[in-house]
Structure 1
């Protein structure tokens, strides 16, 4: 585990704890070769403009070129961006990332005529091509999906204009990333031993989990004081991102930004609304949890900086990374030997970047281009929460591994809606394993506390985020301004509603929206809550049924994005069009509350 002193530089991190991006490109020169190849192939696409319906062969060739280009630009962009993520202050990879983003926009512009021209073909011409050319069979689902989008695809000229604006549209998110990851710094605090400790994105939750309330409060104040200094800038940045979402929704003839976002996954708006309504009906359980937390911590007042502190006192559970890996392997053993062997490769063969270093992108993710093994970025801090992060990101990585191995490029990319199922199944299996393995009362209470926190953070908190997103987009759609004061007021009230009367909603929390990266990917976070609910049902079946349920689950992973998310989940036995899975998860939350109350 790293110390809490100054962050090491990238060079100071031992090699065995770094990912091996050389598996994508052995050198930057090879990256440059593919960069130039993308430009060349992009120019080649123009030869097919206006010729889409000339023959079935022409249609096949342009589709093959399109997906070859998409695969290549993904590889080029992913490498540059992941190199930059190692150290956001590195000018070499800042430049490569900027070039890759510009090239991506060029590619999208060059290919923008394809969908409109296909949609302009008479139905009988397109059907005739599909029957005549066997090679088009591969593209059946993609073409059916394109036809579903017909009412929202613009003319070729309009699509070209929209594609050309892509780089500009990324500005709010890119500005936020640079502020948040490269420029934002926080005041140091005194740790539990009175030593100077630097507050960073990666260490913040570690400080929030401290049993020393003074450390929690100081870290909380340190973090939010930096965001408050930039509150107007960050409000304008978020407002610009929301305006961008509304512009694209209207340009594509959707009634709202929400429906535009859900349309991509073929998700009815009722799924989003059902989530918020079901969680709001169960807020009494969240209020009960807040009261329990206040009682177990022995506090006169429960503040927002008390939310992450373990409710069980005097327990130190520091987990070195090698031990965390073994915990994850044991917890995921029910998924079978083959799953375990592949997962071990991920830990031993350069998939994983483990520790925080100066300039490294905060948080955690799994990513990687098609045709190369997946990668996992961590900022491991040696606590139980980070162990679950390993399991979570490995769930994404294994989903990518299986989907990439079974599906062609155009169907290997699963949607976020199903992605969060894979990650959360891993977390749930690990939790069930640890609850059975651990006999010590204090650690069992600690685990129950963590499980309840998963619900709070993944179901309740993400649903609150989802409701916030809906409110701010609807306000913009109504032609009203997203002022700093409005953002603060709405966010304050949502925290009051969700956490209940036992919680003191500190003024600093009114700025939490300013530090949430997901708000720059509109209507994304609700999928965490729905994914958690679906995962709870799948986990139960795996543990109860064994091999048969594992086979169904692995089959689901291997399907990648070859069908719509709701259909894929139905094949795994979960109907997310109904509010029932969300309610089942919230019922489990109530039962966990019962268990922890019985032990205290």
Structure 2
């Protein structure tokens, strides 16, 4: 989900989606015993059959839809009366503070309404009442943007000396950083009338993403075949599961069928993605940015150099990825390693099914280095129904965290009992705990936090979980499995997300240069990138050229790079916590988890113990990658 905001509005909804997740709303029954181990996942034919303790409780937000409608009407009144502040901001500190107070109240109430509507829809996407409710929330967003679009331009129109005096007043003190952020955008602001007009285009600008999301749920997929000749259903949900199967025939069949199916609709995918890129470039141009990349990063207080040094540093270390791929090729014993082999586990023994209750304990053990208060707060989330655990008919796929200032955090899962699912649980709870701490330590206006720091908090949990599990590993085979999974997290997060970021930068530059983003053009670009990243030991099959069509995050402009930078930062912080103990933990709790948006994100990370303004954390992460790779090589070479 991505919402475009004007500079005058501070509505931020924190949400994290797993990149490898599809967008299908189809329900896939539990996996076979061969894929999940001897113990199978509980089978639920409908959501009603799932025990209440495994479903989140939306009554914590509103007791019923009637209460939601009442707040919606309240918000509409607030929005429609907001223009009474227009033309008054320079009159006095009290007038400015009053307008900003009302802005905050509108944002806060909208956020609560939106969260309730989205959470209700995502667990039952076929429910027409919930669809209608979410549609109302979507329209509220457009109304809020349109009615508040004048705020930023009017603030920017106040003479410098006058706005300085207004900001010095005590009444305005709570809003100083907010005002400073607006003033920093002066060269990118438009007159009020133009900002209001642009705000009315928000829904149109979201059409490519909406069309893509709907289209991905409707594409018919063929059956695929495993090595025993059995047919399996292929969907956006089952596809990544099949790619991780020890069954090479199943991997190849799924890979070929999936991407060939996407290729059938390649022109449609090209149109939706090019529409997204064109909109991003247009908004950047209109607001006087040199590029869409600059517009995205600068508005989030991130220097472009951070993006560029990520691409440069990862490209310098691609030989490490090539070395890992060579190891996988030898370990899998294949003459040629194809892209459908990349996700294959090095351990061909069945991964044991991990019951959810066991996963909870594993996560709590993993995050123990963050202290008793952190663990107790996290456990509160488990027992207080913050989490929606199991897949069911009509529930969308993937995983995310979502919450508002006036609710506790909510975590959305589709738990299937794999080791990856345990990591996903730790990841999303990392987001939840950042919201929990930030809401306790910051006023509403600064309780949101940028994705740049959000992904650090979540990935840190994953890394701590790995270290905990590796220490407890009882057998060589278990250590091999865990190391391979950890190196896979490097590949899929630090390397693969950087590959996505490089592709995203390329297609925006192509469009800005006036070149057409046809399906064939994007396939060529992506295929060439894939060959560069995976190197000489992997066959870059022609089908992989369509991978860009299954990445939903390309519809959240310049978002994916933050997964890579955050992973690097998390590796550095985890090492510091291991080395220093409590002092490092306190820095993480006091800054990374509690600062919200009260200061710029790079400053937050620096205070937490990692300086992302340099390439040092990325290089440090590569050192860890090489160390873990060497350890895996040693274990595999042992007789």
What is the TM-score with the length of structure 1 in the denominator? 0.97
User: Which structure 2 residues correspond to residues 67-216 of structure 1 after superposition, within 5 A?
Assistant: 67-132=104-169, 134-180=170-216, 182-190=217-225, 196-216=231-251
Structure 1 residue 54, shift from structure 2 partner? 1.4
**Cα distance change, pair 8–482 in 1 and its aligned pair in 2 (3 A):** farther
The one-character-per-residue Cα deviations of 1:253-281 (angstroms, maximum 9, x if unpaired) are 00000000110222111111100011111
Task: Tell me whether 300-309 or 13-22 shows the greater mean CA deviation.
Answer: 13-22
CA contact under 8 A between 2:30 and 2:416: conserved in structure 1? no
CA contact under 8 A between 1:203 and 1:381: conserved in structure 2? no
Q: Which residue of 1 aligns with 2:4?
A: none
Confirm or deny that 1:280 pairs with 2:283: no
Structure 1 residue 63, shift from structure 2 partner? 0.2
Name the CA distance, whole Å, in 1 between partners of 2:478 and 2:220.
Answer: 35
The one-character-per-residue Cα deviations of 1:76-123 (angstroms, maximum 9, x if unpaired) are 122112211112222222221122111111111111111111111112
Name the CA distance, whole Å, in 1 between partners of 2:281 and 2:46.
Answer: 41
Name the CA distance, whole Å, in 2 between partners of 1:131 and 1:328.
Answer: 46
User: Which structure 2 residues correspond to residues 459-470 of structure 1 after superposition, within 5 A?
Assistant: 459-470=494-505
**Cα distance change, pair 493–402 in 1 and its aligned pair in 2 (3 A):** same
Q: Which residue of 1 aligns with 2:360?
A: 325
The one-character-per-residue Cα deviations of 1:445-495 (angstroms, maximum 9, x if unpaired) are 011101100110011000000000000000000011100000110111111
Confirm or deny that 1:476 pairs with 2:511: yes
Structure 1 residue 362, shift from structure 2 partner? 1.6
Name the CA distance, whole Å, in 1 between partners of 2:309 and 2:621.
Answer: 14
Q: Which residue of 2 aligns with 1:385?
A: 420
Name the CA distance, whole Å, in 2 between partners of 1:162 and 1:297.
Answer: 54
Q: Which residue of 1 aligns with 2:73?
A: 36
The one-character-per-residue Cα deviations of 1:7-57 (angstroms, maximum 9, x if unpaired) are 844334332221112211111111111111111000110111111111211
CA contact under 8 A between 2:227 and 2:247: conserved in structure 1? yes
Name the CA distance, whole Å, in 1 between partners of 2:562 and 2:619.
Answer: 15
CA contact under 8 A between 1:315 and 1:442: conserved in structure 2? no
User: Which structure 2 residues correspond to residues 395-406 of structure 1 after superposition, within 5 A?
Assistant: 395-406=430-441
The one-character-per-residue Cα deviations of 1:294-334 (angstroms, maximum 9, x if unpaired) are 00011111111111111122242221111111111111111
- Indicate the structure with greater helix content: 1
**Cα distance change, pair 2–429 in 1 and its aligned pair in 2 (3 A):** farther
Name the CA distance, whole Å, in 2 between partners of 1:166 and 1:478.
Answer: 24
Structure 1 residue 189, shift from structure 2 partner? 3.5
CA contact under 8 A between 1:202 and 1:381: conserved in structure 2? no
User: SS of 1:366's equivalent?
Assistant: strand
Q: Which residue of 1 aligns with 2:19?
A: none
Name the CA distance, whole Å, in 2 between partners of 1:388 and 1:64.
Answer: 40
Confirm or deny that 1:361 pairs with 2:396: yes
Confirm or deny that 1:24 pairs with 2:67: no
Confirm or deny that 1:584 pairs with 2:616: no
The one-character-per-residue Cα deviations of 1:549-586 (angstroms, maximum 9, x if unpaired) are 11110011111111111100110121111111101111
The one-character-per-residue Cα deviations of 1:218-242 (angstroms, maximum 9, x if unpaired) are 2223432432232211110000000
Name the CA distance, whole Å, in 2 between partners of 1:192 and 1:25.
Answer: 50
Structure 1 residue 193, shift from structure 2 partner? 6.8
**Does 1 or 2 have the higher relative contact order (CA < 8 Å, sep 6+)?**
2
Name the CA distance, whole Å, in 2 between partners of 1:2 and 1:349.
Answer: 27
Confirm or deny that 1:597 pairs with 2:633: yes
User: SS of 2:237's equivalent?
Assistant: helix
Q: 2:570 aligns with which of 525, 530, 535?
A: 535
CA contact under 8 A between 1:335 and 1:550: conserved in structure 2? yes
The one-character-per-residue Cα deviations of 1:503-535 (angstroms, maximum 9, x if unpaired) are 111222111111111000011111111101111
Structure 1 residue 429, shift from structure 2 partner? 0.5
Structure 2 unaligned runs (5+)? 1-27, 33-42
User: SS of 1:560's equivalent?
Assistant: coil
Structure 1 residue 196, shift from structure 2 partner? 4.9
Q: Which residue of 1 aligns with 2:337?
A: 302
Confirm or deny that 1:58 pairs with 2:132: no
Name the CA distance, whole Å, in 1 between partners of 2:458 and 2:321.
Answer: 23
Structure 1 unaligned runs (5+)? none
Name the CA distance, whole Å, in 1 between partners of 2:428 and 2:484.
Answer: 21
CA contact under 8 A between 2:329 and 2:537: conserved in structure 1? yes
Name the CA distance, whole Å, in 2 between partners of 1:60 and 1:381.
Answer: 50
CA contact under 8 A between 1:4 and 1:197: conserved in structure 2? no
Name the CA distance, whole Å, in 2 between partners of 1:325 and 1:189.
Answer: 34
CA contact under 8 A between 1:569 and 1:575: conserved in structure 2? yes
Q: 1:575 aligns with which of 611, 614, 621?
A: 611
Name the CA distance, whole Å, in 2 between partners of 1:205 and 1:386.
Answer: 12
Name the CA distance, whole Å, in 2 between partners of 1:18 and 1:135.
Answer: 43
The one-character-per-residue Cα deviations of 1:364-395 (angstroms, maximum 9, x if unpaired) are 11111111111111111111111111111110
Q: 1:525 aligns with which of 546, 556, 560?
A: 560
**Cα distance change, pair 465–141 in 1 and its aligned pair in 2 (3 A):** same
Q: Which residue of 1 aligns with 2:83?
A: 46
Name the CA distance, whole Å, in 2 between partners of 1:444 and 1:369.
Answer: 39
Q: Which residue of 1 aligns with 2:30?
A: 3
Q: Find runs of 4+ consecutive structure 1 residues off by over 6 angstroms.
A: none
The one-character-per-residue Cα deviations of 1:344-365 (angstroms, maximum 9, x if unpaired) are 1222211111112233222111
What is the TM-score with the length of structure 2 in the denominator? 0.91
Name the CA distance, whole Å, in 2 between partners of 1:304 and 1:188.
Answer: 20
Q: 2:255 aligns with which of 220, 226, 229?
A: 220
User: SS of 2:80's equivalent?
Assistant: helix
The one-character-per-residue Cα deviations of 1:106-156 (angstroms, maximum 9, x if unpaired) are 111111111111111112222222233x23111111111111111111111
Q: Which residue of 2 aligns with 1:443?
A: 478
**Cα distance change, pair 412–282 in 1 and its aligned pair in 2 (3 A):** same
Structure 1 residue 2, shift from structure 2 partner? 6.0
User: Which structure 2 residues correspond to residues 370-519 of structure 1 after superposition, within 5 A?
Assistant: 370-519=405-554
Q: Which residue of 1 aligns with 2:13?
A: none
Structure 1 residue 190, shift from structure 2 partner? 4.7
Name the CA distance, whole Å, in 1 between partners of 2:120 and 2:211.
Answer: 18
CA contact under 8 A between 2:93 and 2:171: conserved in structure 1? no
User: Which structure 2 residues correspond to residues 526-565 of structure 1 after superposition, within 5 A?
Assistant: 526-556=561-591, 557-565=593-601
